[in-house]
Homo-oligomer: A and B are copies of this chain.
């Protein structure tokens, strides 16, 4: 696979992202994806085994981008976990509001039967994402900064509020102001920080 073909894959990904957000998975025919990407239908099948495979790979692609953005250049100082936390959470919101097509796609993906497939795939091939939100939260517990409870519960607070907030912004219920973003981060931090005795 040479440089050109990487471009083609990218073009297919972007085209799919744009169309999916308005039409959904089954509402987006391969022919339309091809048209938008300015290639022919057959070419898609040169790069992806099937429509389903395209979606699965697109998901990995999006997730990798998000995770890369969240944790890039984070210099974690032990006594600055709270600041670090605020940065990561804010990045989560900013990434998704800046690239709403990514967000809407991943959101659709997670609430679709594809999610189940992804889950099963992960069980067979575990331990691939080492820089996940989960391990970031785990570190917070170790550093005695976060409530000593299950990672899953902390994750519900972190991700749940972030996703919900991003939705509010994208769907226009809330405007994206610095002040409100900071207040939202406060809510999140209040809920899962370790109480000082």
Contacts and interface: CB of A to CB of B under 8 A. Distances in A.
Contact of A111 (B111, B119, B153, B190): B111
A110 B192 CA distance: 27
A174 B161 contact: no
Looking at chain A's contact residues, the main secondary structure is helix
B187 A174 contact: no
A155 to B, nearest CB: 8
Given A22-B113, A26-B24, A165 B174 contact: no
14 contacts: A24-B26, A26-B27, A104-B111, A107-B111, A111-B111, A119-B171, A150-B180, A152-B173, A153-B165, A153-B180, A155-B168, A157-B161, A161-B161, A187-B191
